[in-house]
Amino acid sequence: MRRHFGITVGMVMGILLVAVTVVTGAEDFVKLHPQYYKILLENEKVRVLEYRLKPGEEEGMHTHIRAGVIYFLKDATFDIISPDGTRKTVSVKAGDASWREPTSHAMKNSGGTVLLGVAVEVKD
């Protein structure tokens, strides 16, 4: 009986480890698109990122697993593309800030200026 319990606990721990690795590593948009992100600060409470997308560049589909704030440093226009292909064009001004819930999307800089912002992700 103890042996079966130990095997079961080991299997559960293994599954949890794989699940955590997939969520925190494989889908980490910073690792998927390092050319667009620079980590400015990371600790147990937050991750602060600089985001930069040149005119015409498109960041592929990715997932944000954490909610957070985005602060835009320049005026910009960009498209947010949802997983079903729906596009929404957004224009922001320098100094605008917005809240973002966890989401999956792609982005394209459809304007004539660099899309430049700072994102603050709140960790659990």
The tally of domains found in the chain comes to 1
Give me the pLDDT at residue 27, please. Answer: 67
What is the DSSP secondary structure assignment for residue 1, as one 8-state letter?
Answer: -
Residue 19 included in any domain: no
Rounded-to-integer distance, Cα 49 and Cα 81, Å? 21
Query: Phi and psi of 57, rounded to 5°?
Result: -75, 145
Domain membership of residue 10 (yes or no) is no
What is the pTM (predicted TM-score) of this model?
A: 0.75
* 87 within domain boundaries: yes
Residue labelled with tokens 């589909």 = 61
Q: What is the CATH number of the domain that holds 95?
A: 2.60.120.10
18 occurs within a structural domain? no
pLDDT along the chain (124 residues), means of 10: 49 40 58 93 97 96 94 98 96 97 95 97 92
Find the domain containing 115 and state its range.
33-122
Q: Which pair of tokens denotes residue 96?
A: 């605008």
